[in-house]
Amino acid sequence: MRDAQTEVTRALLQPPRTPALLMFVALVLVPLAARFGAESFILSVFTRTIIFAIAALSLDLILGYGALVSFGHAAFMGIGSYAVGILATHGVDEILLQMLVAMLAAIVFAVATSAVSLRASGVYYIMSTLAFGQMLYFFAVSLSAYGGDDGLTLSGRSRLLGTHILANDRAFYYVALALLAGFYLLAQRITASRFGRVLRGIRENPVRMRAIGFEPFRYQLTACALAGAVCAISGVLLANLAEFVSPAYMTWQRSGELLAMVILGGMGTLWGAILGAIAFLLLEEVLSGLTEQWRLILGPILILVALGGRGGLAGLYARLRRRTGGGAP
């Protein structure tokens, strides 16, 4: 048992280029395939998927590599989307500027809340992130100047360098995809760097890391700020996709869904988080098309994945590879 698990872990730690590459190639081809169908709908489904993949990826950074289970990660999506909504109402519709503000706000929020949360550990950490997420949610609900609970309709998508290119669904899709790819590569770099190794070391044994001179708090705080900033970008994109901003983007259920995506895909692999987001959202899309009672199917699927799948879809892939005799790519 133990053996199998270490083996899986080892397989997971190998750079899994093939599945990630396949995934990105498939995503690049989506708009081409979409031309044969209901283009704008398919693009909207997949753009939404990519946006959640970015959020899941950012969560995996702290969850998979730092073992920091954040149950308030959707708050950062909310920060990103409100950055768009609030700036747009005041006439600032340049997306680069909106992203900058979103990231700064996310970093401030992440640092302020993590400074408290990181004092606690385990379940206490989980619950304190939840508490901060809820605070932000209630704050947004009471923001009556920006629509309160009703949310805020945007007059259109943001501008990119002064152009209206994002209004084109295909262009918007590729911008989102490029951001996902960029963040994926960045996250790979980070997790492979000294910083990433220290973070993993802290996950395995914080006492030892402290003994050899690494103060866990500083590293964890940096990771949280980084993950928050990346997640805020997904919020900026979500607001632009829906052309609407709402407190509903940061309910605790949303945070739970993000966790479910990462676990479903297999945490600590980065590409697993992306795959998890794709699988979760497409599963929802397909099941809800089949029957109104689709939750009766989705629930048990999640339970089965939790019961059976050690390491989620990425773990499954690693086991399959091992069984078919394929070594490291």
Partner 1 sequence: MKRCVHVVAAMAAIMLSASAAGAQEKLKIGLIVTLSGPSAVLGGQARDGFNLAVKTLGGKLGGVDTEVIVVDDELKPDVAVTKVKGLIDRDQVNFVVGPIFSNVLQAIHKPVTDSNAILISPNAGTSNFAGKQCNSNFFVTSYQNDQVHAVLGKYAQDKGFKRVFLMAPNYQAGKDALAGFKSMFKGDVVEEVYTPLGQLDFSAELAKIAAAKPDAFFTFMPGGMGVNLVKQYRQAGLVNIPFLSAFTTDESTLPAQKDDAVGFLAGSNWAPNTDNPQNKAFVAAYEATYNAVPGTFAMQAYDAALLIDSALKATGGKTSDREVLKAALKKADFQSLRGKFKFGVNQYPVQDFFLVRAAKRADGKYQTEIVEKVFTDAVDPYAAECTMK
Partner 2 sequence: MSTALLLVQTLNGLQLGILLFLIAAGLTLVFGVMDFINLAHGVQYMIGAYLAAMFCAWTGSFWAGIALTLPAALAFGLLLEVLVFRHLYGRDHLDQVLATLGLIIFLNQAVKTVWGAAPLSVPMPDLLSGSIALMDGLLYPVYRIALIGVGLATAGVLYLLINCTRVGMLVRAGATNAPMVSALGVDIGRLFMIVFGFGAMLAGFAGAMVAPILSVEPGMGDNLLILTFVVIVIGGIGSIRGAFVAALMVGLIDTLGRAFGPQLLRLVLAPAAASQTGRSLAPMLIYILMAAVLFYRPSGLFPVKQ
Stretch of residues binding partner 1 (CB under 8 A), selected from 56-64, 113-121, 234-242, 296-304: 234-242
Side-chain-side CA neighbours of 272 within 13 Å: the count stands at 32
Give least dist CB 257 to partner 1, A: 10
Told to check if 235 binds partner 1 by CB under 8 A, we report no
Q: Between 126 and 154, whose beta carbon lies closer to partner 2?
A: 126
Q: Which residues pair with 245 in a beta bridge?
A: 152
Kindly state the DSSP code that residue 320 receives in the 8-state scheme. H
Told to check if 132 binds partner 2 by CB under 8 A, we report yes
Give least dist CB 199 to partner 2, A: 17
Told to check if 256 binds partner 1 by CB under 8 A, we report no
Told to check if 48 binds partner 1 by CB under 8 A, we report yes
Question: By CB under 8 A, what part of segment 163-222 binds partner 1?
Answer: none
Give least dist CB 267 to partner 1, A: 24
Kindly state the DSSP code that residue 269 receives in the 8-state scheme. S
Which residue has 């993000």 as its token pair?
Answer: 258
Told to check if 318 binds partner 2 by CB under 8 A, we report no
Q: How far apart are CA 322 and CA 279, in angstroms?
A: 22
Compute the CA torsion angle 26, 27, 28, 32 (nearest 10 deg): 80
Q: How far apart are CA 96 and CA 101, in angstroms?
A: 9
Q: How far apart are CA 98 and CA 115, in angstroms?
A: 25
Binding site residues, partner 1, CB under 8 A: 22, 25-26, 29-30, 33-34, 36-42, 44-45, 48, 138, 141-142, 144, 147-153, 238, 241-244, 246, 248-249, 288, 292, 295
